[in-house]
Amino acid sequence: MALLGNLLKGGLKLTVSIQREKNNHAKVQRKTLSKLLAKARYTQFGEKYNFEEILNTAVFDEGNTFYEKYKQFVPVHNYEKIFREWWHKAHEGEKNVCWPGRVKYFALSSGTSEAASKFIPVTKAMTKSFQRTSIRQILSLGRYEELPSDLYEKGFLMIGGSTDLSSIDEGRFQGDVSGINAANIPFWFERYYKPGPEIARERDWSRKLEKIVEEAPNWDIGFMAGVPAWLQIIMEKIIERYKLKNIHEIWPNLSVFGHGGVSFEPYRAGFEKLLGRPLIYIDTYLASEGFIAFQNRPHADGMRLVLDNGIFYEFVPFNDKNFTEDGELVPNPQTLMIDEVEEGVDYALLISTCSGAWRYLIGDTIKFANKQRAEITITGRTKHYLSLCGEHLSVENMNKAVELSAEELGITVKEFTVAGIRHDSLFAHQWYIGTDDEVDADALRDKIDGHLKVLNDDYIVERRHALKDVFVTVLPSATFLGWLAKRGKMGGQNKFPRVLKKNLIDEWEAYLQEQGLQVETVNLK
C-alpha cells in the first residue's frame, strides 16, 4: 500500500481511541482555551485583556469559573469591530497583534451578504490546524465499510480558489482560504491531489474549468470535495465533452463526495442524475476562520465539532434577546459553553482561534443534533433569515421547502434566493427560483408556501396576518451564475446568498433588468 494508505491504516485506530477518550467536551474545550490564552498572553490583545490573570484562574478551576472570567474580561467581536481595532494592524504587517508573530496569509471572504471583502488572518498555527483536521476527515473514511479498500490510492479532486495568491507585501499574501490551504498541502499528499498545482494556480474560473475538463480522462478520482454547485457544473461539462451517460463512465472509482458551504439537499436530485451509482456523502464545515466540524461516521446525525484543534466555541441562543431583527448581536449577549447547550435549539457561533480571533461572531447558526457526540447541523446565517413581521424563517426552513417542492413537481432547482419586501402597508416574500425544467409558477409557489406553513409555526401565523403575499419568479439557472460572475465570485467557496437584503436586492434586480429578463411575479392571494 502506498504512503497515504499506510498513514491511514496506522492512524485510524489511534484516532478512534482518542475520540473515545474525549467525551468530556467541556474539559477538552477548557484545555483548548487555556492553550490559546497561554500562547497569546504576550500579544497586544492578550495584554490588554489580561490573559495572564484569566490563566491564573484556570489553574484552580474545575468548573466554569475560568470561562466566566474570560467572558468578563474579553468583549464579543464581529468582523467590523475586531478588524477596526486589531486585525488591520496585522494586515499592515505589525507583529504580535492578536497572535504571536507576523501573519503571512489573509483569507479574503465576503461571506454571501456583504459586498466588501473581509481580511481573515490565517496564521501558521491555523494552517497546521486545517491540515490536522483534514487528515482526521480522511481517516474517518475507514469507518465506512462499503468503501473499496483501494480508495486511498485514488485521486482526491478538491475544487477551491486559486493558489496564485495576491501579494500584500514581501512574503505576505491573500486569497481564498481554499487556495491558501491548497498552496500548503503536505508533500506526501501532492501525488493524490487533483487538479494539481498548475491548474490550481489558475485564477480565471472559466479557464480552470476547461483545464479540468481537458485533464479529466487522465485522472482516477475516488474522492471529490467542494461546493456542490461548482462540482455539479464540472461533472456536467465533463459528461457533455466526452458524450458520457454519467460521470462514473470516466471515473469508475468515484465513491465519496465531501461537500460544504451550503446545504446539499436542494442540490441532491440534480447531482445524482449525473452519477452511475450512489456516492457516500460527507458533510463538512470549513470556513475562512477555521475547520470547524465534519461528519466522522456513517449515518451521523450531524457533523462532529473539532474541539481540540485550536478553536474554542461559545454558543449564543439565536433569539430576540440576543439579536436584533437585522441579525445584529446585542451588547453583552448570553453565551454558553458546550456543556450548557441543548439539542434542537438554534445557536450563533462565537469562536476564539489560533489565528487571533477572540470571541468572534462567525455569522453561522447551528443546532446540536446529538449533544453527547458534539454533532451539529448548520441551520443558516445570523443575517440570512427572514423575520419582517415575526415569521422567523430560517435557511433550514427554506432549503427543506424548496427540496420537497422540487421533488413533488419533478424538477431540479439549482439555485434560489428570497427577499423580504414591503407590500402595500404590510409585507411579502419575493422568491427567485433557478431551474431549467418546465414548471408552473403557480404550482411551485403553492408548494413552497404550503411546506413552510408546516415547517414553521411562526410562518403560518404571520401568513394570516402581516405576511400577506408571496411572489415567485422562475429564472434560468444560468442567471444566478451570471450574477456571481459579474461580482467576481465564480468558483472557490463562493455561494449565492439564500436571502437578499438591503443593497443586494437592488443590485440583483438591476442585474435582471440588464439581462433583459421579463420578471413576472405571481401574487398569492
Q: DSSP per residue over 176-237, as a string? A: -HHHHHHTT--GGGTTTEES-HHHHT---HHHHHHHHHHHGGG--EEEEEE-HHHHHHHHHH
d(CA 400, CA 384): 15
Which residues neighbour 340 within 8 Å (Cβ) at sequence distance 6 or greater?
64, 315
d(CA 393, CA 403): 15
Confidence (pLDDT) at 112: 44
Confidence (pLDDT) at 60: 59
d(CA 432, CA 505): 11
- Alpha carbons within 13 angstroms on the beta-carbon side of residue 23 total 4
- Reply yes or no: is the peptide bond before residue 195 cis, omega within 30 of 0: yes
Confidence (pLDDT) at 429: 93
Strands (E), 330-425: 347-353, 360-370, 375-381, 413-423
Residue corresponding to grid cell 479532486: 157
Distance between start and end Cα atoms, the chain: 65
The helix (run of H) or strand (run of E) holding residue 101 is none
d(CA 413, CA 83): 37
Domain boundaries, the chain: 395-515
d(CA 260, CA 339): 26
Confidence (pLDDT) at 401: 93
Q: State the DSSP code for 153.
A: G
Q: Are 213 and 241 in contact (CB under 8 A)?
A: yes
d(CA 109, CA 99): 20
| Cα–Cα–Cα angle for 160, 162, 167, rounded to 5 degrees | 140
Cell of 308: 481540540
Distance set, CA 426 to CA 167, 417, 418, 467, 504 (Å): 49, 21, 17, 7, 21
Does the predicted model carry a pTM greater than 0.75?
Answer: yes
CATH for 395-515, among 1.20.1260, 3.50.4, 3.30.70, 3.30.300? 3.30.300
Q: Which amino acid is at 103?
A: V
Q: Are 485 and 443 in contact (CB under 8 A)?
A: no
Q: Crossing angle, helix 3-21 and helix 124-140, to 10 degrees?
A: 90
Q: Which of 381, 350, 348, 382 is nearest to 367 (CA)?
A: 348
Cell of 119: 481580511
Q: Are 172 and 122 in contact (CB under 8 A)?
A: no
Q: Which of 94, 99, 45 is nearest to 73 (CA)?
A: 45
Q: Are 310 and 336 in contact (CB under 8 A)?
A: no
d(CA 264, CA 285): 12
d(CA 63, CA 337): 11
Q: Which amino acid is at 247?
A: I
Confidence (pLDDT) at 324: 82
Tens place of pLDDT per residue across the chain (525 aa): 454 555 554 444 434 434 444 569 999 999 999 999 999 999 999 999 999 999 988 665 556 788 999 999 999 999 999 999 999 999 999 999 999 999 999 998 765 444 457 899 999 999 999 999 988 988 888 888 888 888 888 999 998 888 889 999 989 999 888 888 888 888 888 889 999 999 999 988 889 999 999 999 999 999 999 888 888 889 999 999 999 999 999 999 999 999 886 778 778 888 899 999 999 999 999 989 999 999 999 989 899 999 999 999 999 999 989 988 767 899 899 999 999 999 999 999 999 999 999 999 998 899 999 999 999 998 888 876 777 777 878 888 898 899 999 999 999 999 999 998 888 878 899 999 999 999 999 899 999 999 999 988 888 888 888 888 999 999 999 999 889 888 877 766 677 888 887 778 888 988 998 988 855 444 433
d(CA 204, CA 272): 27
Q: Are 450 and 424 in contact (CB under 8 A)?
A: no
